[in-house]
């Protein structure tokens, strides 16, 4: 065997060995990044400011607050191909139940107290931006802010303290940024708008349009 053939054979052996090493390294990191390895537990505690919007002229705003906790019922992560095998691009698809308490104060009218066990679907992109769709069905109690009097059988009037019981149906659309997704900071911000119908109000369904903005503390822990 001449020197040229020997050198060519050595080159082929080295090339095959290098390709095997590269393939092994590629498979090694592909085994590390799996859907099972990116699952986690996650809960949220949220406080939001609410503005009830009255569109009749003149337009008016009534303000309130809501407090909710988000309990995740379903988690379906999606692993997208990234530029590098060292990092994963993970999209989070989640369904939460969100027990929510709150109030809206309408000056000179009433104060509304509500409880809504919301159902929410949240879609969080790899960069931390999320969109969330909520379905709301709950209870509202509205108490008059002004003194209320009731006529008695003898023709006199008696001051009474009462409110109105209502059923709520509706939903809202939120968007925001989850800092815990990329920056490892356990906070998230959200803003959005929604629509409620409550019954009865003079034997009719009454519409409420509202906007909200909130801050959440995110309890996130990777599963072992």
- The rounded distance, in Å, linking the Cα atoms of 178 and 199 is 35
DSSP 78: E
DSSP-based three-state secondary structure for 28: helix
166 has pLDDT over 70: yes
**pLDDT at residue 11 is higher than 80:** no
Q: Are 173 and 132 in contact (CB under 8 A)?
A: yes
Place of tokens 């008059």: 144
Confidence check: pLDDT of 68 > 90: yes
| Contact between 96 and 117 (Cβ < 8 Å) | no
Give the model confidence (pLDDT) of 76-112 as tens digits: 888 876 555 556 678 899 999 999 999 999 887 889 9
pLDDT at 21 over 70: no
- Which residue is listed with tokens 């356990």? 186
pTM beyond cutoff 0.85: no
């Amino acid at each position: 065997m001449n020197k040229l053939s020997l050198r060519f054979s050595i080159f082929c052996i080295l090339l095959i060995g290098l390709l095997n090493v590269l393939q092994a390294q590629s498979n090694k990191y592909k085994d590390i990044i799996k859907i099972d390895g990116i699952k986690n537990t996650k809960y949220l505690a949220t406080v939001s400011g609410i503005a009830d919007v009255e569109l009749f002229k003149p337009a008016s705003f009534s303000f309130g607050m809501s407090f909710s906790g988000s309990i995740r019922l379903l988690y379906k992560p999606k692993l997208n191909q990234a530029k590098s095998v060292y990092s994963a691009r993970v999209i989070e698809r989640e369904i939460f139940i969100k027990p929510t308490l709150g109030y809206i104060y309408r000056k000179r009218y009433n104060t509304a107290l509500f409880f809504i066990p919301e159902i929410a679907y949240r879609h969080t992109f790899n960069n931390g931006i999320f969109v969330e769709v909520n379905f709301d069905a709950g209870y509202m109690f509205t108490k008059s802010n002004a003194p209320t009097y009731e006529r008695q059988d003898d023709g006199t009037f008696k001051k009474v303290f009462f409110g109105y019981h209502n059923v709520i149906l509706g939903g809202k659309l939120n968007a925001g940024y989850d800092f815990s997704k990329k920056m490892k900071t356990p906070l998230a911000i959200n803003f959005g708008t929604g629509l409620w119908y409550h019954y009865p109000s003079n034997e009719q369904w009454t519409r409420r349009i509202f906007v909200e903005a909130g801050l959440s503390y995110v309890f996130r822990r990777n599963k072992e």
